[in-house]
């Protein structure tokens, strides 16, 4: 319709009044949700961009200079009040900001809720993909089978995607991560497929060549079955290729100290734990297929034994 009687029927952006208390509460409990309610969804991307950036900094810092973020977590009991105060201060600041914005005319329509859903789901989906298929992965040690090299609670960095096992370049003496029955385990690579392996009086013998082994001290440890501490020996072991690491063994002879000579099947690895008398390894479960080996440990990111941090296990 045109002429004098015509009326302007154009639709202006919604001027529905936002409740400041609701914008405050939403941003306090669900970061950035209050911005969408207030009609300013652009702030969603800004807030999540900052959070993702801080997470990336923490990851790079931890990998480049262990223990990094793990060290902060370990000292949480000492710095918890300061961290809590900082966190609540940031949350309150964002909440007050959203409440203040709710007084202004909204800058966008209800499409902001879709942006919020994207901002929440995209980082989580990205984190899941990175965790499964990233070029490196972290693992937490769950038992004492790799004492004295690794203890329960230690965190290691491993080369290789968590969900794409197999194809890892492995050398005798490497600490590898393999999975069996949906559970991951650390162990030491001893002999590759095609080689012969035997264990005589606790000493690995690969292709009829015994590994070097010398006692460098005593050891008192507790087995995974929580039996009383058992005296043992701390040994330095050297592979035929010259790789060196430390292992422990009970002082008294054990049945697993001897393993008959056998040929390792092609496409598998014979693995042994460094805690030689308290490790369920290839002497019990057989050689591990290469496609079940998910990575090679490259660095200790966190340990209660500070001398391990940053070292290759």
Looking at the fold, whether 161 and 276 belong to one and the same domain comes out as: yes
Looking at the fold, whether 176 and 304 belong to one and the same domain comes out as: yes
Looking at the fold, whether 47 and 96 belong to one and the same domain comes out as: yes
Instruction: Residue 236: give the domain boundaries.
Output: 136-308
How many folded domains does the chain comprise? Answer: 2
Residue 2: predicted pLDDT: 44
Residue 123 resides in a domain = yes
Residue 64 has a CB neighbour count (10 Å cut-off) of 9
Q: How far is CA 307 from CA 15, 124, 149, 244, 285, in A?
A: 62, 35, 11, 17, 32
- The backbone torsions φ and ψ at residue 73, rounded to the nearest 5 degrees and listed phi first, read -65, -40
Instruction: Decide if 308 contacts 300 (C-beta within 8 A).
Output: yes
Looking at the fold, whether 75 and 175 belong to one and the same domain comes out as: no
Q: What is the DSSP letter of 275?
A: B
Looking at the fold, whether 64 and 115 belong to one and the same domain comes out as: yes
Residue 248 resides in a domain = yes
Which of 133, 149, 174 is a domain's end point? Answer: 133
Residue 188 resides in a domain = yes
Residue 4: predicted pLDDT: 43
Residue 12: predicted pLDDT: 40
Which of 75, 107, 133 is a domain's end point? Answer: 133
Looking at the fold, whether 150 and 278 belong to one and the same domain comes out as: yes
Which of 98, 133, 168 is a domain's end point? Answer: 133
Residue 13 resides in a domain = no
Looking at the fold, whether 178 and 303 belong to one and the same domain comes out as: yes
Residue 14 resides in a domain = no
Residue 2 resides in a domain = no
How far is it, in rounded angstroms, from Cα 46 to Cα 55?
Answer: 14
Helix (H) or strand (E) holding 277: none
Of the candidates 115, 116, 146, 157, the residue with the CA atom closest to the CA atom of residue 33: 116
Looking at the fold, whether 96 and 159 belong to one and the same domain comes out as: no
Residue 8 resides in a domain = no
Residue 223: exposed, middle, or buried by beta-carbon count in 10 A (0-12, 13-18, 19+)? middle
DSSP E strands, the chain: 136-140, 155-159, 175-180, 183-192, 196-200, 203-206, 209-210, 212-221, 230-238, 244-250, 259-263, 268-272, 288-289, 293-302
Residue 28: predicted pLDDT: 83
Looking at the fold, whether 122 and 271 belong to one and the same domain comes out as: no
Residue 189: predicted pLDDT: 98
Looking at the fold, whether 118 and 243 belong to one and the same domain comes out as: no
Residue 123: predicted pLDDT: 67
- pLDDT (tens, 9 = 90+) of the chain, 313 residues, equals 444 444 433 334 444 567 888 889 888 887 777 888 787 877 877 887 888 888 888 888 888 888 888 887 776 656 667 667 777 888 888 889 888 888 877 765 556 666 666 666 766 777 777 777 777 889 999 999 999 999 999 999 998 878 788 888 999 999 999 998 889 999 999 999 999 999 999 999 999 999 999 999 998 765 554 455 678 899 999 999 999 999 999 888 899 999 999 999 999 999 999 999 999 999 999 999 999 999 999 999 999 899 999 999 9
- List the end-to-end C-alpha distance of the chain, in Å, as a whole number: 82
Instruction: Decide if 163 contacts 229 (C-beta within 8 A).
Output: no
Looking at the fold, whether 120 and 208 belong to one and the same domain comes out as: no
Looking at the fold, whether 179 and 94 belong to one and the same domain comes out as: no
Residue 14: predicted pLDDT: 46
Residue 11: predicted pLDDT: 35
Read off the CATH number of the domain in which 304 is found.
2.10.109.10
Task: Calculate ∠ Cα 271-174-254, nearest 5°.
Answer: 40
Residue 6 resides in a domain = no
């Amino acid at each position: 319709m045109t002429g004098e009687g015509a009326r302007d029927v154009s639709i202006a952006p919604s001027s529905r009044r936002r409740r400041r208390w609701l914008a405050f509460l939403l941003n306090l409990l669900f970061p950035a949700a209050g911005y969408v309610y207030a009609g300013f969804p652009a702030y969603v991307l800004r807030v999540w961009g900052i959070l993702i950036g801080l997470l990336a900094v923490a990851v790079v810092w931890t990998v480049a200079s262990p223990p990094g973020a793990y060290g902060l977590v370990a000292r949480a009991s000492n710095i918890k009040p300061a961290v809590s105060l900082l966190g609540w201060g940031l949350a309150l600041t964002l909440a007050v900001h959203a409440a203040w914005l709710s007084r202004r005319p909204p800058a966008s329509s209800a499409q902001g809720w879709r942006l919020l859903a994207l901002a929440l789901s995209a980082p989580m989906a990205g984190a899941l993909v990175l965790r499964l298929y990233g070029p490196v992965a972290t693992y937490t040690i769950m038992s004492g089978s790799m004492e004295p090299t690794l203890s329960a609670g230690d965190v290691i960095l491993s080369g290789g995607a968590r969900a794409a096992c197999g194809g890892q370049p492995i050398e005798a003496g490497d600490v590898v991560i393999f999975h069996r029955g949906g559970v991951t385990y650390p162990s030491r690579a001893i002999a590759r497929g095609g080689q012969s392996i035997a264990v005589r009086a606790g000493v690995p013998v690969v292709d009829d060549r015994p590994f070097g082994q010398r006692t460098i001290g005593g050891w008192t440890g507790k087995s995974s079955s929580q039996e009383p501490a058992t005296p043992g020996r701390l040994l330095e072991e050297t592979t035929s290729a010259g790789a060196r690491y430390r292992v422990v063994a009970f002082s008294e002879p054990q049945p697993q100290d001897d393993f008959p000579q056998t040929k390792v099947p092609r496409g598998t690895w014979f693995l042994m734990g460094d805690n030689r008398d308290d490790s369920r390894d290839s002497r019990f479960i057989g050689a591990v297929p290469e496609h079940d080996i998910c990575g090679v440990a490259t660095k200790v990111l966190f340990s209660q034994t500070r001398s391990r941090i940053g070292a290759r296990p």
